[in-house]
Amino acid sequence: MPRSTRSLALAVPLALALTACGAGDADKAENTPAKGQAKETAPAGVAHQHTVLEAEMAANGGETKVGEYRVGYIVEAAEPWFRGEHGKHGKMVNREPAKGETHHIEIIPMEAKTGRIVPEVPIRLEVLDSKGKVVQAQDLNFYHAEFFHYANNFSIPKAGKYTLRATLQRPTFLRHGASGEKPALSEKTTATFRNVELKSGN
């Protein structure tokens, strides 16, 4: 199912569930700004991004908390993407999944304090079998989609349960701060997801 269709199918029930559950009176009171305070609202695109992300992680992945990060993963069938071609005057062309590519594995690093998806993180993802042997390891690309994420297509030889080990290097962006403060997101981090079922073609 194309991501746009699948995401809509996932996001709508989630949104309805959240509406149906509703917030209790205490929650409503807690979320109601005090007199004179501005109400906090997120732009529609940002809210939609996180609604779809949460739904897809729940349906096709999972998450863990490590260091300053909340890291999610999503497993799907191998996918196409646009990339720039040399000698094409900057034109971007569609790259279809290569022969043998079976899965598109996504890693989503979020700042635990704020929920923001973190850009400019060099990430290497290893897929390990039940014996701890690395089946395949690849650097991940950063993608624009309904939500920003890092991913690549992988070639998994057979269906089964695997471990995903994502190594997040320090983000390459600069940081504001005063002398003596510890810079945010300044340490290498490893997120491990065990017993991840990789089905044939997922």
Q: How far apart are alpha carbons 184 and 177 in whole angstroms?
A: 9
Asked if residue 31 belongs to a domain, the reply is: no
Considering the chain, what percentage of its residues have pLDDT values greater than 90?
74
Asked if residue 29 belongs to a domain, the reply is: no
Helices (H), ranges, the chain: 3-21, 25-31, 44-60
For the ranges 20-24, 55-59, 114-118, the lowest mean pLDDT is seen at 20-24
Q: How far apart are alpha carbons 147 and 139 in whole angstroms?
A: 19
Taking the whole predicted model, whether its pTM rises above 0.85 is answered as no
CB neighbour list of residue 155: distance below 8 Å, 6 or more residues apart: 100, 101, 102, 136
For 99-111, the DSSP string reads TT--EEEEEEEEE
Backbone angles phi, psi at 101, to 5 degrees: -75, 130
Instruction: Write the pLDDT tens digit of every residue in 65-101.
Output: 999 999 999 999 999 999 987 666 778 999 999 999 9
Asked if residue 193 belongs to a domain, the reply is: yes
Task: For residue 177, give its domain range.
Answer: 3-19+44-198
Q: How many structural domains is the chain composed of? A: 1
Residue 184 is predicted with a pLDDT of 96
Asked if residue 83 belongs to a domain, the reply is: yes
Confidence at 28, pLDDT banded by 50, 70, 90? very low
Asked if residue 32 belongs to a domain, the reply is: no
Instruction: Write the pLDDT tens digit of every residue in 152-200.
Output: 999 999 999 999 999 999 999 999 999 999 999 999 999 999 999 999 8
Asked if residue 39 belongs to a domain, the reply is: no
Q: How far apart are alpha carbons 140 and 40 in whole angstroms?
A: 34
Asked if residue 110 belongs to a domain, the reply is: yes
Summary mean pLDDT of the chain: 86
- CATH number for the domain spanning 81: value is 2.60.40.2480
Asked if residue 25 belongs to a domain, the reply is: no
Over range 111-137, report the average pLDDT.
97
Tell me whether residue 123 is exposed, middle or buried, using C-beta atoms within 10 angstroms of its C-beta: 0 to 12, 13 to 18, 19 or more: buried
